[in-house]
Amino acid sequence: MRNQRNHSLPYIIAALSLLLSLMVWVLTIRSIELYNSTRFKTLSRNIQNDTTYRLNTYINAMEQTQAMVSVSPYLTRNAFRNYVKKLNFENEYPGIQGMGLVEKVLAKDLSTHLSQVKSEGLPSYRIWPLESLRREYFSITNLEPHNKRNGLYLGNDLSQDPVKLEAMLLARDTGFPAATGIVPLLQEKGTSEQPGIFIFVPLYRYGTNTQSTNHRHKNLVGFLFSSIRVDTFFKSVFSRIHPSSPIDFEIYQGEETRPENLVYDHDGKASFKTSNFNPSFRMKTSIDVGGKTWTIFSYSLPFFSWSFYQWIPTMVLLTGLLVTGLLFWITQIHTHSAAQEAKRARELEGALAENAVLFRQAQEALAARDEFLSIASHEFKTPLASLKLQIQSLVRYIAKGSLAQLPPEKFDKMASVFVTQLGRLTDLVDNLLDVTRARAGKLTLQREVINVVEVVSEIVERFKLQLEGSETYIEMHAPEEIVGCFDRLRIEQITENLVSNAAKYASGKPVNLTLSEVQGCLRLEIKDEGVGISEENLKRIFEKFERVSENDDSVNGLGLGLFITKQIIDAHGGVINVTSRENIGTTFTVELPMGT
Ligand code: ADP
């Protein structure tokens, strides 16, 4: 579980980092968009503000002149010329071609008016066009600076042009400056026609009431006007805008962007007409030009967004991806080495545990060996001590030269001790050899057809002799014969071991041995009524060197008898079972296949 978590950690970290990178990327794109949009709006507003500001400057100049003219009812032609000269149109108000006065002339005053103007140094002055007589005329009497082109306008009745008349009436009725739409400007012969506008400022009779439209209507004496060439005007207004500016714009008369109303096209390419015109940003603003609305349509050029900022989102994304990759790589390495370490630690733990088991087994083996050596020494010591005593006694007789005087009964006893103790030593050595053989898997059988009842009976008879005089006695129950293919010596060994144990632990009670043939098997049952074996110890009695009975200390034995017995039974392909209850008795049952 923990391992799985460790493995998925680099992926989780990489996913989070990727998510964060994408979020920052999207945020950066949004920010750059916002920045560009704000930049575009600022540039567009600058165009609007520059135009409005410049127009207001011009109108202010006209209003100042209006104020000057209004308070000087007897203003001379020369004084007006000098005043206008001081305004320095060419440098201060580019685009203004002239500033002049329009006088309202009633039909009844026409001849007086004509002679008055002619007497002022303009002998060829006349009012034109003059197809028919009218109630009143609005004639240009003065237009400065005095030059050939402006001279063409003198005497022109502007009310005959409906566009100009409309602006004049608006100025008259409102009292404020009013502009015409685009009109062609009069030019000297040989030069092309130029579009322009006229701005009119009303002039009322000095000192009269101009509060209401009626009053203004009644007291109007004429207009101060300016003619402005629009392309020169706009060129000067937008002279600060760099030619490679990322935005383009067009200015239209009216509120709609109709091509026929185009007043000014900044790059002269009329971009909106092209079929693939699809700017990223566009904006419509309007300005008031002497009571008329003009519309500025601005839009971004394709390279508007081409700046260093444009690359920031890509750089942010690439950096994010790079960081994600690095994080993944580092955590991957870290996790891998952590997993390796954990694996090594587990291997080490396993090795340690294995070593601990081996160490315990070795300790147990050493302890078992020590115990065995001490028991074996003890077992060997007893018969050897007994033999030593007999031999010493014999040596004493020989030394005294009285061997012939040794009583026959004592000699018999000595011989019997020799036979018994040598037999015991032989048994011990045989047992040890059998253990070694069993361990090496070399416990081989010499099978032959035998009558088992005969073989077992001989052993029982031997034990009966040994037990003579003791309280324990053996009873054997068996049929006449049971014939099978067994290793005679090994059958003897099994019987000897089991009978000697039963006798050893019988505590003076009888031992019953029963031989039978059950379902093709030889069955040997040895039952005693002795000390018995506890349930816990029952599991261990067939192990090597296991001696478990309460009275083990008082009874001889290496704890090898049952181990060897079981090995022999296994070699015959049989089984051995034991049932026991403490202080009630023990029954060993051996079953061996009859063999062929
Ligand atoms: P030993 O030669 O020391 O008797 P065995 O392998 O023959 O060794 O027996 C193992 C142990 O089993 C004995 O030390 C003894 O404690 C117990 N044992 C064997 N037979 C009997 C029995 N009939 N009654 C009680 N205990 C027995």
Q: Which atom of ligand 1 is nearest to the CA of 556?
A: 3
Ligand 1 center from residue 587 Cα (angstroms):
12
Ligand 1 center from residue 431 Cα (angstroms):
14
**Is the shortest distance between the CB of 502 and ligand 1 below 6 Å?**
yes
Residue 253 β-bridge partners: 294
To test the pocket of ligand 1, the residue of 549, 552, 553, 577 to mutate (highest count of ligand atoms within 8 Å of its CB) is 549
- Phi, psi angle pair for 379, to nearest 5°: -60, -40
Closest CA to 80 of 198, 224, 179, 227: 224
Closest CA to 505 of 577, 556, 570: 556
CB 554 within 8 A of CB 519: no
Closest CA to 425 of 390, 379, 459: 379
Ligand 1 center from residue 556 Cα (angstroms):
10
Could you give the count of Cα atoms lying within 13 Å of 89 in the half-sphere of its Cβ? 23
With b for 16 or more beta-carbon neighbours within 10 A and e for fewer, the 93-109 pattern comes to bbbbbbbbbbbbbeeee
| Burial of 197 from C-beta contacts in 10 A (0-12 / 13-18 / 19+) | buried
Closest CA to 489 of 455, 458, 519, 518: 455
The tokens for 507 are: 């505590």
Ligand 1 center from residue 391 Cα (angstroms):
32
Which pLDDT value is given to residue 274?
A: 60
Q: Which atom of ligand 1 is nearest to the CA of 585?
A: 24
Nearest CA to ligand 1 atom 21: 501
The tokens for 484 are: 């099978």
Q: What is the DSSP string of 367-383?
A: HHHHHHHHHHHHHHHHH
**Is the shortest distance between the CB of 550 and ligand 1 below 6 Å?**
no
In terms of DSSP bridges, do strands 511-518 and 474-477 run parallel, antiparallel, or are they unpaired?
parallel
Ligand 1 center from residue 543 Cα (angstroms):
11
To test the pocket of ligand 1, the residue of 529, 541, 546 to mutate (highest count of ligand atoms within 8 Å of its CB) is 541
The SS3 assignment for 445 reads coil
Nearest CA to ligand 1 atom 19: 501
pLDDT (tens, 9 = 90+) of the chain, 596 residues, equals 555 556 788 899 999 999 999 999 999 999 988 999 999 999 999 999 999 999 999 999 999 999 888 877 678 888 999 999 999 988 899 999 999 999 999 999 999 999 999 999 899 999 999 878 889 999 999 999 988 888 888 999 999 999 999 999 999 999 999 999 999 887 666 667 788 999 999 999 988 888 899 999 999 999 999 999 998 999 999 887 777 788 999 999 998 878 888 888 888 776 555 657 788 899 999 999 988 999 999 999 888 877 777 888 899 999 999 999 999 999 989 888 888 998 999 999 999 999 999 999 899 878 877 777 777 777 788 788 888 888 888 888 888 888 788 788 888 888 888 888 888 888 888 877 877 777 777 778 889 999 999 999 999 998 998 888 888 899 999 999 999 999 998 999 999 999 999 999 988 899 999 999 999 899 999 999 999 999 988 988 888 766 655 444 555 667 788 988 998 999 999 999 999 999 999 999 999 999 76
pTM here is: 0.54
Nearest CA to ligand 1 atom 25: 532
**Is the shortest distance between the CB of 546 and ligand 1 below 6 Å?**
yes
Cα angle 83-88-92, degrees, rounded to a multiple of 5: 130
Nearest CA to ligand 1 atom 2: 557
